Structure 1
C-alpha cells in the first residue's frame, strides 16, 4: 500500500436466510483501478466488536481489501460468555456456520477492485472455527488463517472439496483444545492430504492475539485467556508470509 493512501471504511448491509447482517469493509483509497487481494475477517464469539474491525483496518494498511463479517445478525454483540456461548452454539457442527460465512464472502467478492482468485479468510477464536468451516465447505479461497480458533477436524469428504491452504496458529498452553484434540485435528488434515501449517506458540494461551483479552477475562470471569505480545507478533508475521505465498502480496 502507498503510504499516502487513506483507509476508507464503511458498513455493508447484507442478508442471509432472512437474517439481516452488517459487515465492516476497509480498504486503501489509492488503488488506481488495480485489482487487490481480499481478506475476510471472522470475529470472536463476542460478535463484531472493535477488535475484528481493527484487524480489518490493519489488513487494509497492508494493501488488502478487508471485510469483517457479522455472524449472529441484528448487530448483536456481548461480553457475557454465557450469551456468547449460546449464540455460537447455534453454528458449531452445523452447515449454517459455513453458509453464513459464505454470505459474507460473497459480499467481499462483489466489492469492486477485489481480485476474485486472490481471496483469503482469517478468524479469531470462534472466527477461527468459522474460516476452517468455510474452507472445508469448498469455498473459493486461496487460504485461511485461524488464530487460536476452535479446531474442526474435516471429514474425508470435506477435505476432498477443500481448495484453500491452511495456516493454523495455536497457543502452546491453550487448553480450550486438549492435546488429544489437537492431535486428532492434525491427523485429519494429514489423512485428507491438505496443505497446512500448524504453528504452536510457546507460552500462549487462548485469545493470545487480542490486547483486550486480559480485561475480558477479568470482566467475564474466564480462566485461560490472555494476550501474548510475542505470539501475536509472530502469528501476524506468519500470516503475512503465508499471504505472500498464496497470492502476490501488495507491498
Structure 2
C-alpha cells in the first residue's frame, strides 16, 4: 500500500511539474496569409495582466524547433513568449536558397515590420500579458525585423537583436521610437560588417534612439544557433558558426536589458 501511495504521489507530482510550461500553436492571419505562431508561458510564473511579454522573430529558416526552444527558455524565465510566423503556416526550411527567396520578399519593404506587427498583436491579445511591459527579440532575419518594427513606433519597451542584419532607422523614426535597442553582433560577422553596423548607429544617433551595441569577439553570423556549424557543413553555407561563449553572454545581456526596461524582478 505504501508503495502504491508513493507511486501515485510521484505521478501526481510529475503531472504538476509538467503542467508548469504551457505551449501551443496559434493560427492567425495577415493580409490573407495564414500563419502559425507558437505561444509559451509558465502557468505558475505568470498571471493574468501581470506578466511581461516577449515577441520572438525567427531566423530566415522560419518557425522551427530551435526558435520554439528559445520561446520555451523565455517562458522558464517567467515571460509570456510568442514566436511570430513571418512566412506562412508550415513554411520552414534548412535550404539557404529557399530561405533567401522567402526572406527576400521582406528586406527593405514595409511588409517586414507589418508581418512582425501581426505577431505582436497576437502576443498583446494573451490575457496574461501586461501590455505596458512588452519587448521583441529576433535572430538574424528576425533581428532585422524587430529593428524595423521598433521604427514604426510599435508599443515596445525594447528590442534585442541577435546577429541581426543592420536596418538603418529612416528619418521618419525620429521622435517616434518607443523602444530601447540592444544590438548584439558577431565581431567577425561578414554578413553584417563593421561598416554596416557603423551606418546603423549613425542613423540611430540621428533619430535620437536609445541604443547599445555590443560586438562579441571571434563570433560569426548566427553565433547563437547550436545548429549553425552543421548547417554550414551540410549546406555549404560559409560565414556562419556557433560560438558558445557569445551565445551565453548575449543571452545574459538580454536578461540584464529586460531587467532595465521591465524593472528588476524581485
Distance 1:249 1:56 in 2: 20
In the other structure, the counterpart of 2:225 is 210
Distance 1:44 1:106 in 2: 20
In the other structure, the counterpart of 2:158 is 143
Distance 2:49 2:153 in 1: 27
Distance 2:261 2:136 in 1: 12
Distance 1:32 1:16 in 2: 28
In the other structure, the counterpart of 1:54 is 69
Distance 2:47 2:112 in 1: 35
In the other structure, the counterpart of 2:85 is 70
In the other structure, the counterpart of 1:195 is 210
In the other structure, the counterpart of 2:7 is none
Q: Which of 246, 253, 262 is the matching residue for 1:238?
A: 253
| 1:62–1:250 contact (8 Å) kept in structure 2 | no
| Structure 2 unaligned regions, length at least 5 | 1-15
In the other structure, the counterpart of 1:24 is 38
**Residues 1:102 and 2:80 are matched in the alignment:** no
| 2:55–2:83 contact (8 Å) kept in structure 1 | yes
State the TM-score, normalized to the length of structure 1.
0.96
Shift in Å, 1:34: 5.7
State the TM-score, normalized to the length of structure 2.
0.91
- Report the count of equivalent residues: 249
Shift in Å, 1:141: 0.3
| 1:159–1:192 contact (8 Å) kept in structure 2 | yes
Deviant stretches of 4+, over 2 Å: 31-34, 248-251
In the other structure, the counterpart of 2:26 is 12
C-alpha RMSD over aligned residues: 1.4
Distance 1:130 1:179 in 2: 19
